[in-house]
Amino acid sequence: MKKCDYLTREQIQKMHDLGQVRNAQKVLFGMDEYMSSFINEKKKVYYLNKKGRERVGATKIRKKTPTVDHFLMRNDLYIFLGKPFSWKNEIKIKIPQTKISIVVDAMFKIDNTHDYFIEVDHKQSMKQNESKINRYKQLFEYNPNFMLIWVTTTHFRKVKIQSLCEGLNIQVYLWGDIK
């Protein structure tokens, strides 16, 4: 919970190999004093409450939010990519020799040589996506050794992102395909 901020029962079940729904519900019930929850699109979403944050040393306070799907998409991608050990959320990357920076939705490294930057496109304007992609293109000039991984909601948005990212090393997934 500390690493992912918000999780559904299904995500917790996959992450911790809890087997059937009944077993996952039993585990969640046992953790009830450390978590709060709310319903989002007919699914219960869990997050750490004050007692849970104290228990695991988390500092971020999370509450019910209308942007929870952004977090859930990122978490589904985290699980889909095999839960990379070095995964970190919301990291600021400075573009060398400029005053420009990018806040990536998440990033991880493999063998300390190859960076993977994660972007979640959930109801974001294509203008905002294009602006961020242009900053990635500037970063590419200084560090071509990274892969940009996107997760988005529709085939149209996937094609548009792929087109905007021409020249970059990218992979684009549809949320529905990785859940």
The pLDDT tens digits of the residues spanning 124-143 come to 999 999 999 999 999 999 88
Quickly tell me which residue has 């493999």 as its tokens: 110
The pLDDT tens digits of the residues spanning 24-53 come to 899 999 999 999 999 999 999 999 999 999
Domain boundaries, the chain: 7-65, 79-178
- Shortest CA distance to 11 belongs to which of 143, 175, 131? 175
- Contacts (Cβ under 8 Å, ≥6 apart) of 30: none
**Taking the domain 79-178, which CATH number applies?**
3.40.1350.60
Burial class (CB in 10 A: 0-12, 13-18, 19+), 41: exposed
The pLDDT tens digits of the residues spanning 70-118 come to 999 999 999 999 999 999 999 999 998 889 999 999 999 987 778 999 9
